[in-house]
Structure 1
Amino acid sequence: MDWLSILEIFLPIALVLSTALTVFIITLPEQYSNFKPRVILDSDFTDVDHKDSHRSGHAYFQRHKDADGTLRCTTSVQIVVLGDIGRSPRMQYHALSIAGHGGKVSLVGYFDSDVHPDIKASRFIDVVAIARFPSALQTDNKILFLLLAPLKVLHQILSLYVALSYKTPASKWMLVQNPPSIPTLAVAQVICFFRKTKLVVDWHNFGYSILALRLGSTHPLVRLSHWYEGVFGSNATAHFAVSNAMCKVLLSKWNIRALPLHDRPPMHFRPLSALQRTYFLHMLPETSPYASDILARKTRLLVSSTSWTADEDFSLLLGALVTYAELSLTQPFPKILLVITGKGPQKAHYLSRITHLNETDQLPSITILTAWLTPSDYASLLGSADLGISLHTSSSGVDLPMKVVDMFGAGLPVAGWSKFEAWGELVREGENGRGFGSEKGLVKVLVELFGKGGEVELAKLKEGAIREGEKRWEGEWMPVAGKLFGLT
């Protein structure tokens, strides 16, 4: 092949690439500038906002606006969740805290379920939806998952790039939830480079360890994910992590120095008075038929919140309840009403198992219900329950279940899977909760707390949960994240 033939082949390719690069450069999003802070005007607030001035931010605007009636937000943050915003409470709390201190927030993610009502009310927060990957192409089949994964990643890259570049104005900071790592971290790095935005990664867990639950720890994609997470995560300006143990792992694994920022409950999780508990139990459809027996302690109310994923083995809880029901035939144990909240991929599987257990009379003294509640009703349910159940097993060993934090905020003691490193940072055995590492261990906890003499210990655990719940999100957040973002 002569040079002319080679030139004929590569010239069109070079032309296409140069055209694409030119279009990319011409359409680059605007850069963040210290001289162009985000601005809020009185006209941004409606009459309804004036009446609900605290939640809308109008009260803050009135206190801090300039003489010309303008509030210039020197702190602006894009908060990125490559997941359902409504099921990402920590990132919503970040948004509310930033907005509460006068920062302007663009909250970017999937909009599948309702967000916190205070986010909807705030004029300091804009919620920006990312286009979802078509549901028809999503599958739990391992082979199809591998085949469709590249297409899904490509779709996520494009939709995330558009949302961060063109649907939201340039911000001083970008706060990214990790995981998911792919493609979030890489896209965030590119956007922050071109927009002169400072990137902060909030480490909830590790993406590669979650992927290993599906593919196995030695799978090439898991190894690639491990490398990717370290390379694209380590170049951020700053990092938060949900536990001290995670900070240590980040430092040893990737030389990432993260600031520990523990989850704490927001103010709407709180213990209920006896009158409030009575009213709520009779009001909520799931508990109203059992309210009198719950209040008389003939039935114990258990609550578990889940995303129905592989890192929570509900077969362990179901097995423990079957054993408890068998023991109840010969011993005077109270009945149990278990309410499970949340949505997720394995929900149908476990509902089928629960149906089978009921049809075969293996749960004679147990009632299991599922529910999807508003944030306020979920908080009240926790405040009305006798015991919270956590089956979070932690793929990394160093993340912590936020559901337990919420339970403590409502004054609810917890029984949870405790066989991972970070558990002790959250739950103190015999003081605010009980741990277990097997089905038999959970049965032992239920028998000891609900059997003869268990009332005293359960009351002690509740007192410990209330004390732990006094540590609130704002008090944890402000000295760490608030300081980093320059808020006062």
Structure 2
Amino acid sequence: MLWLLVTLIVVVVSIAIAFLLLRPIPAKYVKGSIQVVVLGDIGHSPRMQYHALSIAEHGGQVELVGYIDSEPLQPLREHPSVILRPLSRPPQVLQTSNKLLFLLGAPLKVIFQTWTLWEALARQATAHEWMLVQNPPSIPTLLLAILACRARNTKLVVDWHNFGYSILALKLGHSHLLVRVSKYYEYALAKFAYCHFTVTDAMRDVLKNDLAIAQPILTLHDRPAPIFQPMTSQQRAAFLVQQALTAGEASEILQGKTRLVVSSTSWTPDEDFSVLLEALCKYSASAISDSPQLPELLVIITGKGPLRDRYLQKIKSLEASQDLEMITVKTDWLSFEQYASLLAAADLGLSLHTSSSGVDLPMKVVDMFGAGLPVLGYNNYKAWPELVREDINGKGFANAQQMSDTMRLLFDPPPTKLDKLKQGAIHESNRRWDAEWEPIAGRLFGLVT
């Protein structure tokens, strides 16, 4: 309790000092100018990139603030109405997945983020008519955004991707005092925003019912960017042969003897890939013992993250014991363009996202549908039916056995069930970001009449 009190005092004092010493530069904002804020890697924040690009393409002026650890979308980098303002990353010593070290380093990390973010929001940048802030993370983002907006007469819009306290609970547990304080902080400050976007109706209902927010709460569902498109059979064949990850198995994939399965991950605790590995072991055992007609699987997992090395060791161990005899697992980091093509060339997309809150949805599934790729995903949370229609464009599972059973069902020749899901996913690919964004965000920002 003493540690928590000291931490809160240090954070509050640091914010107060930042506000007093680094006062906002007064400036009259340009109408239609919007500051888009991501306290994370811009390149790994597709929804905020889509926001920024839509604003710019509809005549607005955009300043996109965040970390640039990976390259943002090329149209953003080249658009004359977009300014990218990078943030400095906290020292590496403060980045840890260890629970004890996290508790010790978190206050220092927050203080560092407070100073760098405040300077970016209120000192380096000119004033804007609107500020669109991604949440989470909410600490210290929401408080600093509110202060900057109040000082500059800027209207604040919070774009809710999830709840920050629910993600913190993955590390500390829901009963931890810091998690409860984080929830109160997040909910209390939310009431100072001008308007809210949520990624699901279920999330909107939580904000509306639990917070009794008077401001508008608008559901803005995620939709894929134009880069995610279905492929023709000729395009697919050319990509499989040319892509290093698939070239060795391209012939077998095109003949249906091997099925290409793809998943992306940030290798974090909210995606338990041990479930996938268990399911793959069960599939392999079944294909060897009682279902020899089942195809081999090439499973490609893309992404970077803290748990990657741990799972790679598990995969090597399972391969050494021949538990993955019918499975080839490959991992890699791909560019945005390569990833989009890989999804379009695959037979099935996997989502292990478990949802810390129960009311968010994985962006990866949206991208898979954009590429016309059917999805098999963890479905044991409230918002899942808002995205995936069972037996139409995808299927869900709650455990490794169900996942394995469904893969056998879909891949058992002839693949009529998989083909049906493929048609549903291609139909879903017609639903695009601009059609969702224009009547909601575009109209709110005054860029669409």
TM-score range, shorter chain: over 0.9
Aligned to 1:43: none
Equivalences for residues 257-276 of structure 1 within 5 A: 257-276=216-235
Aligned to 2:4: none
* 1:26, distance to aligned residue in structure 2 (A): 7.5
Aligned to 2:77: 120
Aligned to 2:6: none
Aligned to 2:53: 96
Contact 1:32 1:196 in 2 (8 A): no
Aligned to 1:464: 424
Equivalences for residues 58-457 of structure 1 within 5 A: 74-256=31-213, 257-330=216-289, 331=291, 332-453=293-414, 455-457=415-417
Gap regions ≥5 residues in structure 2 = 1-12
The residue type paired with residue 176 of structure 1 is: V
Tell which structure's C-alpha radius of gyration is larger.
Answer: 1
Can you list the C-alpha shifts for 1:58-92, whole angstroms capped at 9, x where unaligned?
xxxxxxxxxxxxxxxx3111111111000000000
SS of the aligned residue for 2:128 comes to coil
The residue type paired with residue 322 of structure 2 is: D
The residue type paired with residue 31 of structure 1 is: P
Can you list the C-alpha shifts for 1:422-447, whole angstroms capped at 9, x where unaligned?
00000010000000001110011101
Q: Cα–Cα, structure 1 residues 26 and 133, in superposed 2: closer, same or farther, change >3 Å?
A: closer
SS of the aligned residue for 1:177 comes to strand
With structure 1 as the length reference, what TM-score do the two structures score? Answer: 0.86
Can you list the C-alpha shifts for 1:304-349, whole angstroms capped at 9, x where unaligned?
0111111111000000001111111132210000111111111111
Aligned to 1:30: 25
The residue type paired with residue 446 of structure 2 is: G
The residue type paired with residue 259 of structure 2 is: R
Can you list the C-alpha shifts for 1:323-378, whole angstroms capped at 9, x where unaligned?
11111113221000011111111111111111111122111111111121111111
* 1:30, distance to aligned residue in structure 2 (A): 2.7
* 1:281, distance to aligned residue in structure 2 (A): 0.6
Distance 2:325 2:19 in 1: 65
Contact 1:209 1:217 in 2 (8 A): yes
Distance 1:292 1:310 in 2: 36
* 1:27, distance to aligned residue in structure 2 (A): 5.0
* 1:117, distance to aligned residue in structure 2 (A): 0.8
Contact 2:43 2:72 in 1 (8 A): yes
Can you list the C-alpha shifts for 1:149-205, whole angstroms capped at 9, x where unaligned?
111110110110011112221111100000011111011111111111110000000
Contact 2:94 2:106 in 1 (8 A): no
* 1:31, distance to aligned residue in structure 2 (A): 3.5
The residue type paired with residue 369 of structure 1 is: K
The residue type paired with residue 220 of structure 1 is: L
Contact 1:302 1:337 in 2 (8 A): yes
* 1:24, distance to aligned residue in structure 2 (A): 5.7
Contact 2:351 2:365 in 1 (8 A): yes
Contact 1:389 1:415 in 2 (8 A): yes
Contact 1:393 1:420 in 2 (8 A): yes
Choose 348-357 or 217-226, whichever is displaced more: 348-357
* 1:25, distance to aligned residue in structure 2 (A): 5.4
SS of the aligned residue for 1:483 comes to helix
Distance 1:325 1:166 in 2: 58
Distance 1:135 1:26 in 2: 27
Distance 2:257 2:67 in 1: 42
Q: Cα–Cα, structure 1 residues 219 and 230, in superposed 2: closer, same or farther, change >3 Å?
A: same
* 1:291, distance to aligned residue in structure 2 (A): 0.6
Contact 2:343 2:373 in 1 (8 A): yes
The residue type paired with residue 166 of structure 1 is: R
* 1:267, distance to aligned residue in structure 2 (A): 1.2
Q: CA RMSD, aligned part only?
A: 1.4
Contact 1:81 1:176 in 2 (8 A): yes
The residue type paired with residue 229 of structure 2 is: R
SS of the aligned residue for 2:383 comes to helix
Distance 2:60 2:193 in 1: 21
SS of the aligned residue for 1:395 comes to coil
Between the aligned residues of both structures, percent identity stands at 53
Distance 1:26 1:180 in 2: 25
Runs of 4+ in 1 over 6 A off after TM superposition: none
* 1:251, distance to aligned residue in structure 2 (A): 0.5
Distance 2:27 2:184 in 1: 30
Distance 1:350 1:114 in 2: 26
The residue type paired with residue 114 of structure 1 is: E
The residue type paired with residue 476 of structure 1 is: E
